[in-house]
Structure 1
Amino acid sequence: MVHYKKDEIVTFDATSEKIFRYMSAGNHPHAAFKSHKLVGVSGNVVTIDAEIYNPDGTTFSTTIVHKLNQPEGVETTMKGGAFNGARFIHTYTQVGDKTKVDLEGNFPAFPGMSEADELKMIDGFFMTVFAEDKVTLQKR
């Protein structure tokens, strides 16, 4: 496993309540995702089926499970595909009407890729996804 940690990966111009509503929905627009479909909500657990692009343009399918721990954050696990077994936590800190997000978790090691290169790839992926979420949240 590869451990990734990024303090203040993003600050959303939104309250944590708005972010939790967003995290409870599917169909998030992301360049790295071919599809992002809500398949279930049970209590505080949200299940998403996603198809994510690989760097070569092929895709892999994964099930993303978000455990919403309001107001502290979201615990995410991924099952299937390149990130099978990944587990990470988004920690939310309310700062006025904004929400700071820290991210920390463990990801499967990719065969043939150095840990440093994998950490750069994970960082790029999350920086992009959170930047896209920030834009989407501003429009809602």
Structure 2
Amino acid sequence: MTHHEHPDAALVRQGYEAFSKGDMEALGALLTSDCTHHAPGTTRFGGHFKGRDNVLGMYRDMVEYTGGTFRVELDGVFADGRGHVISTHKWFAEHGDRGIEMRGALFFTLVGGKASDIDECVEDIAELDAFMSLDD
């Protein structure tokens, strides 16, 4: 069987690659200027981040909070051919003497070959909040 990846799935893979390399310029080029990332939880990393600069700023803050240890292993990318993509992954991070490992997923809405909306889901919101609020 031949696997032909849909262009929308390829775009999401490019985003994961750019994030993994810390290439926020390349990642930003894949987002609309008015994109929104909806993140779960009640910490400063949870909520609705509107606009490319705010989304990228949240990503930078998360990398800084985890001392550069934040990393993601992409599991799967699934496109519907109508501008929606779901990705599944496992992410890992450390802060101080504490570490976390969690499965998650992102639901992308794409417009004009760029992500305009990203909805994030995680395996355990309470654990996420506990980890992301260690300094509070």
TM-score range, shorter-chain basis?
0.3 to 0.5
TM-score of the pair, normalised by structure 1 = 0.38
